[in-house]
Chain A
Amino acid sequence: MIRGGEMNEDAWLKIKWVKNVPNYLQLQSPHPPPAVGARRQSATYIPQAWGRPRDDVYGAYDPSYMQTNGPNQHTQSPIVTGTSVLGMKFKEGVVIAADNLASYGSLARFTDVKRLRTFAESSVVGFGGDVSDMQYLDRHLTELAIDEAYASSTTTNSAQPTLNARNLHKYLQKLLYRRRSKFDPLWNSLLVAGLDESGAPFLAAADLLGTAFSSPSLATGFGSMLAQPIMRRLVPDEASVASVTREQAVECVRECMKVLFYRDARSLDSYSLAIVTKDGVELHQNEKLENQSWAFADRIKGYGTQTV
Chain B
Amino acid sequence: MFRNNYDNDSVTLIFQVEYAAEAVKQGSVVVGIVSKTHAVLVAIKRNAEELSSYQKKLFAVDEHVGLAIAGLTSDARVLSNFMKQQCLSERLTFDRAMPLETLVSLISDKAQLNTQHYGKRPYGVGLLVAGVDDSGPHLFEFQPSGLTQEMLACAIGARSQMARTYLEKNLDKFPDCGRDELIRHGLRALKETLVQDRELTVENTSVGVVGPKEPGKRPLEAFKVHDGADVKDWINSIADDAEAGGDGMQVDE
Q: A89-131 CB contact bits vs B (8 Å, 1 = yes)?
A: 0000000000000000000000000000000000000000000
Q: CB-nearest residue of chain B relative to A196?
A: B95
19 examples of A-B residue contacts, CB within 8 angstroms: A151-B99, A151-B102, A152-B135, A155-B101, A155-B135, A156-B135, A156-B136, A157-B136, A158-B135, A160-B134, A162-B134, A164-B96, A166-B96, A167-B95, A170-B93, A171-B94, A197-B96, A197-B218, A198-B218
Contact B102 A167 (CB under 8 A): no
Residues 209-253 of chain B, each 1 if its beta carbon lies under 8 Å from chain A, else 0: 000000000100000000000000000000000000000000000
* Cβ–Cβ < 8 Å partners of B94 in chain A: 163, 167, 170-171
CA distance in complex: A198, B218 (Å): 8
Say whether A174 contacts B93, CB under 8 Å: yes
Query: What size tier do the contact residues of chain A reach?
Result: 10 to 19
Q: Is the CB of A151 within 8 A of B101?
A: yes
Chain B residues 47-80 with CB under 8 Å of chain A are none
State the total of A-B contacts with C-beta under 8 angstroms. Answer: 37
Given contacts A154-B101, A157-B136, A171-B93, 5 further A-B contacts (CB under 8 A): A155-B135, A156-B136, A157-B135, A163-B94, A174-B93
Q: Do B101 and A174 touch (CB < 8 A)?
A: no
Number of interface residues of B (CB under 8 A): 12
- Closest chain-B Cβ to A183's Cβ sits at a distance in Å of 21
- Once the chains are docked, how many angstroms separate the CA of A34 from the CA of B12? 85
Query: Cα distance A162–B134 when bound, in Å?
Result: 8
Expressed in whole angstroms, the Cα–Cα distance for A198 and B93 within the complex equals 19
Shortest A169–chain B CB gap in Å is: 8
Q: Which A-B residue pairs are the 7 nearest by beta carbons?
A: A170-B95, A157-B135, A167-B94, A155-B135, A167-B96, A174-B93, A171-B94
Tell yes or no: B11 within 8 A of A by CB: no
B residues near A160, Cβ cutoff 8 Å: 134-135
B231 CB to closest chain A CB, in angstroms?
31
Q: Shortest Cβ distance from B227 into chain A, in angstroms?
A: 32
- Chain B residues with CB under 8 Å of A170's CB are 93-95
Closest to A161 in B: B134
Of the residues A154, A157, A166, contact of B95 by C-beta under 8 Å? A166
For A159, give the chain B residue with the smallest CB separation.
B135
B-side contacts of A152, CB under 8 Å: 99, 135
Output the least CB separation between B245 and chain A (Å): 34
A128-170 near B? 1/0 per residue, CB < 8 Å: 0000000000000000000000011011111010111011001
Q: Does B1 contact A (CB under 8 A)?
A: no
Specify which chain A residues have a CB less than 8 angstroms from the CB of B102 in the assembled complex: 151
B136 contact set on A, CB distance < 8 A: 156-157
Q: CB-defined interface of B180-218 with A at 8 Å, one 1/0 digit per residue?
A: 000000000000000000000000000000000000001
Contact with A along B96-124 (1 / 0, CB 8 A): 10010110000000000000000000000
A167 contact set on B, CB distance < 8 A: 94-96
Complex CA distance for A122 and B171, rounded to whole angstroms? 37
Complex CA distance for A156 and B136, rounded to whole angstroms: 9
Asked whether A155 and B95 contact (CB < 8 A) given A160-B134, A162-B134, A197-B134, the answer is no
Do the beta carbons of A155 and B96 come within 8 Å of each other?
no
